[in-house]
Amino acid sequence: MSKTAQKALAEFICIAPVDQRLNPAVLISGSFKLELFDDAFFSQAAIHLPDTISRASSKRKAEYFCGRYLAALALRHYGVEHFDVLADDKRCPQWPAGFVGSISHTDDFAACALAPSSELSALGIDCQAILSSAKAEKLWPKIIDRDEFNIIAASSFELNYGLSLCFSAKESIYKALYPFIRKFFGFSAAKLCAINPEQQYLEFDFSAELGKPIGIEHTLRAYYHIDSNRALSYVQLSPEQVCSQRR
């Protein structure tokens, strides 16, 4: 990549230092400026551009590029070069043998988590912009039930922060478990039962019907980071926590 291209890419996306708090997974993230996106970034950074994405809006292409660019950086952290992270027919990223990973993005932020499959069998991350108070009041019945609402209300979180975090956590659970369950499940499959602000995790009761066939018989924890702009959550399950014929 030329110095001019490197400068343009650096102005478009600002990469944060590698975050190893998700140990054993690593998290690579960055904020980006949509107005500075250039289609040429794909070829310059050697990121595969699928036909379906090439026909998409500039916003969709920028988000896709950021996710795959961060995935390439995460793989490079483990010494894997020049691997195209393609997607299956359900848009799930396909990682190289020996790894599990997850990608997420908002309008101006993207993140990729990656770990060796010898350490983790399931990994899901999700980032969400913090909802406005008005949107939270309107949307909460579609995301949580009254019991979950009451748990958030009893916590230190205002509804818009608590709902954004709960939404993100349920998305992380979906991303972590879908590769095993292989069918859609909605927000009601994971029900918030506790918030632990000291250790920064949410605890969920997961559907026994969906969970038992793959060995999930207990509550799931989604760890989180939250600030005034966004909520980031992640779910990690060890090989001992997931038993599936798929493996």
Q: Which of 79-93, 125-139, 140-154, 191-205 has the lowest mean pLDDT?
A: 79-93
pLDDT beyond 80 at 54: yes
Domain residue extents for the chain: 3-120, 128-241
CATH class of 3-120: alpha beta
**What pLDDT sits at residue 247?**
41
Rounded to an integer, the average pLDDT of 31-57 is 95
pLDDT beyond 50 at 246: no
CA gap 242, 247 in Å, rounded:
9
- What is the CB neighbour count within 10 angstroms for residue 5? 15
pTM over 0.85: yes
pLDDT beyond 60 at 78: yes
Question: Backbone phi, then psi, for 175, in 5-degree steps?
Answer: -65, -35
pLDDT beyond 90 at 1: no
Greater model confidence, 70 or 23:
70
- In whole numbers, what is the pLDDT of the chain averaged over residues? 93
Is residue 173 within 8 A of residue 124, CB to CB? The reply is yes
pLDDT beyond 90 at 65: yes
Amino acid sitting at position 87:
A
**What pLDDT sits at residue 244?**
54
Q: Which of 72-76, 77-81, 187-191, 241-245 has the lowest mean pLDDT?
A: 241-245
Percent of the chain with pLDDT over 90: 81
**What pLDDT sits at residue 245?**
43
Q: What does the pLDDT look like over 234-245, one tens digit per residue?
A: 999 988 877 654
Rounded to an integer, the average pLDDT of 229-236 is 96
CATH class of 128-241: alpha beta
Q: What does the pLDDT look like over 102-114, one tens digit per residue?
A: 999 999 999 999 9
55: left (phi over 0), alpha (psi -120 to 50) or beta: alpha
Concatenating the DSSP letter of every residue in the chain gives --HHHHHHHHHHEEEPPPB-TTTTSEEEEEEE-GGG--THHHHHTT----HHHHTS-HHHHHHHHHHHHHHHHHHHHTT--S----B-TT--B-PPTTEEEEEEE-SSEEEEEEEETTT-SEEEEEEEEPPPHHHHHHHHHHH--HHHHHHHHTSSS-HHHHHHHHHHHHHHHHHHHHHHH-S---GGGEEEEEEETTTTEEEEEEPHHHHGGGT--S-EEEEEEE-SSEEEEEEEE-GGG---TT-
**What pLDDT sits at residue 89?**
82
